[in-house]
Structure 1
């Protein structure tokens, strides 16, 4: 959603009362919440663009919550702007209960939903498995510089990686200047998708061109953004003729970029999940020699979360499902390279000894980098306003220029 439109709509949103006649869940024992959740239908809206993620949800999570809790979990496709616009329309229209009970969100979407008071909370303190989550970790307890404050529950933790074909890239670029040199000397072999993953790369480049990422930590700084982004747009425009298809068009999604990489049209793709390369190789989409790495200038590490719409009529079921998704069992299954390969949000040393041993026995990575190594190059996400502005300005000053 465009920032200007969002601001205008924000002032028109009325803050209606929560769902009538619902209990104060914070005053209930967990067993009472469990009892209230039984037999409920729950609708989760989430991005469904990856078959491994879809498989984890449909083949593992859906049957597990049905068998364990008698909850019917229905998954519908939607992300970001669609989630915001749906919940905003319900608030503006005075809808009593939401059509959505659970949302997969982070960053920009969390910011916008908090602005329109669309999320229920704080609720994370009610979840038994939340005791295994270290909210003092800035990559867990802070979402795009925003304290989660109990209004969203951490679900997974990832770091951005670039994926390359060693048969076409002898020595992968480590600095922005290295990328400039490689792109110019290998015309048509690099591009940037115009969605979340591409914008995440651009944010890391903007921070490295500034000389330090630290000024971007904290509240949005208009002058800092103007100065740093101007430098980025100027340099990208000088590179644009050397991009895939001469920079006349850009992939609309990272899935499209993955396909270009798989077909050999480009030499790099990218992922917000540092373990995804092994998934794609196992599936036969990427060449077996494909490798993922984090350049010396660092990449953004962040978490993704689950939120409950304030107007959900099935909050008990939402709480129970979130607690299951944070459980050691569900987190371990999700972390397996052949399932999803998503990083856990649990603090492993805080788990019972038996679970610590199980996590230590997860199959090792093949072409994905070791997490303990890339964490040294992890950058914090800047505030959500930077994402909103980059999303718009990349199109204005580079794509459509």
Structure 2
């Protein structure tokens, strides 16, 4: 199960952190980081880059396999090989390599987020600081707290922003013309529509719980700063009470919870659920383009706010091909690559680039592509964006949701 794998990983992490032989710092490789980027790109020629990333969406997979892979091959003669795997799997792979004393990792590049970034930084498993060495980093909006900060952690050059998204709920405007917009309205809606809502026991579901916990704390910046155990204990108790007094109105009376958003999307399309959700605020247009969602689907956010965050690209400290990884990352944050994945027909992933830093011709193209049809415009939901709290909140929510909700 997902939770058991996660706890095994966290247990292994603690064993490494508490071990006598703490891994030495391998993040600073002066020779490579001091080279001109043209030289780094030259070193990457005719090499293979092994990347691990989540592959749960067909359009994302097509963007990478049908466009990125051939582009980096033709431009840099890099063979980009992609393997499936996300946070827990990445941490387990790099931890096992550290324990085995392996000098060259099987991975050169990883798609990560704040929880994974936190765990990998604890064991010094990431290479850096490399971001400032990327020519296209000049376009990144690092001053944006939703991009330059990852789960309250300064990225410090050890991961590079790749995309930016905000949690949104999704309904069918024909079946649910007036969706609930507050937590009070949600509670009333659940009772009037029993069985039509659930919470996925994975990243998106836990992101929703963090949004609710911030709302219960008074909203805004209530969970800013380092992890606070007393605050978590108080607010999580309110959260579990809120969920448990209503879970009998959830799908299957709250006796079980789906382990993926993809499963929720299927139930939504089959009208088993009336609400689904996504960590990507433009996914409605994306899924309509794939003929998965009905053309009447639309997204919305709660007035109490939802989490907005960025996802990142990291290079393992023991990566054998750091030059190749840096070259690929620099391409992935280029205006051309960011513009392409912003298109909902391609991916619909929010850009991390600052529009005012882009060449004029790209500014106009980004403005045109960012227009949405069924997904709420980013400018509309931005005022309701909440910053990610410290990563320990997410770690605790995974375990406590199982104990306090699933097993109750």
TM-score (norm 2): 0.95
Report the alpha carbon displacement of residue 191 of structure 1 after superposing the two structures with TM: 0.4
2:115 aligned with 1:108: yes
Any idea what the Cα deviations from partners look like across 1:2-25, whole Å, max 9, x if unmatched?
2455323322363146499x7712
- RMSD of the TM alignment (CA)? 1.5
2:403 aligned with 1:396: yes
Structure 2 counterpart of 1:246: 253
Whether the aligned pair in 1 keeps the contact of 2:108 and 2:322 (CA below 8 Å) is yes
- Decide which of 380, 399, 405 is 1:373's aligned counterpart: 380
C-alpha distance in 2 between matches for 1:250 and 1:53? 25
Any idea what the Cα deviations from partners look like across 1:217-237, whole Å, max 9, x if unmatched?
110000100000001101111
C-alpha distance in 2 between matches for 1:141 and 1:129? 15
Report the alpha carbon displacement of residue 286 of structure 1 after superposing the two structures with TM: 1.1
Q: Secondary structure at the match of 1:214?
A: coil
2:33 aligned with 1:26: yes
Structure 2 counterpart of 1:6: 13
C-alpha distance in 2 between matches for 1:167 and 1:218? 42
- Decide which of 268, 274, 284 is 1:277's aligned counterpart: 284
Any idea what the Cα deviations from partners look like across 1:161-210, whole Å, max 9, x if unmatched?
00011222231111111111100111001101000001111110111112
Structure 1 counterpart of 2:3: none
Structure 1 counterpart of 2:362: 355
C-alpha distance in 1 between matches for 2:376 and 2:290? 18
Structure 2 counterpart of 1:144: 151
Report the alpha carbon displacement of residue 369 of structure 1 after superposing the two structures with TM: 0.6
Structure 2 unmatched ranges of 5 or more: 1-5
The 3 A distance-change label for structure 1 pair 328 and 33 is same
- Decide which of 297, 300, 308 is 1:290's aligned counterpart: 297
Any idea what the Cα deviations from partners look like across 1:224-265, whole Å, max 9, x if unmatched?
000000011011111111101111111110111111101110
5 Å-filtered alignment, 1:5-154, equals 6-12=13-19, 14-16=22-24, 18=26, 24-154=31-161
Q: Secondary structure at the match of 2:272?
A: coil
Q: Secondary structure at the match of 1:355?
A: helix
Count of aligned pairs between the two proteins: 400
Structure 2 counterpart of 1:200: 207
Report the alpha carbon displacement of residue 120 of structure 1 after superposing the two structures with TM: 0.1
Moved over 2 A (4+): 1-10, 16-20
C-alpha distance in 2 between matches for 1:367 and 1:295? 17
Q: Which moved more, 1:131-140 or 1:111-120?
A: 131-140
Q: Secondary structure at the match of 2:245?
A: helix
C-alpha distance in 1 between matches for 2:25 and 2:269? 50
C-alpha distance in 2 between matches for 1:151 and 1:398? 36
Q: Secondary structure at the match of 1:44?
A: strand
Whether the aligned pair in 2 keeps the contact of 1:157 and 1:343 (CA below 8 Å) is yes
Report the alpha carbon displacement of residue 83 of structure 1 after superposing the two structures with TM: 0.3
5 Å-filtered alignment, 1:215-364, equals 215-362=222-369, 364=371
Report the alpha carbon displacement of residue 118 of structure 1 after superposing the two structures with TM: 0.2
Whether the aligned pair in 1 keeps the contact of 2:37 and 2:133 (CA below 8 Å) is yes
C-alpha distance in 2 between matches for 1:6 and 1:127? 30
Report the alpha carbon displacement of residue 134 of structure 1 after superposing the two structures with TM: 2.2
Any idea what the Cα deviations from partners look like across 1:131-172, whole Å, max 9, x if unmatched?
111212111110000000000000000111000112222311
C-alpha distance in 1 between matches for 2:293 and 2:368? 26
TM-score (norm 1): 0.97
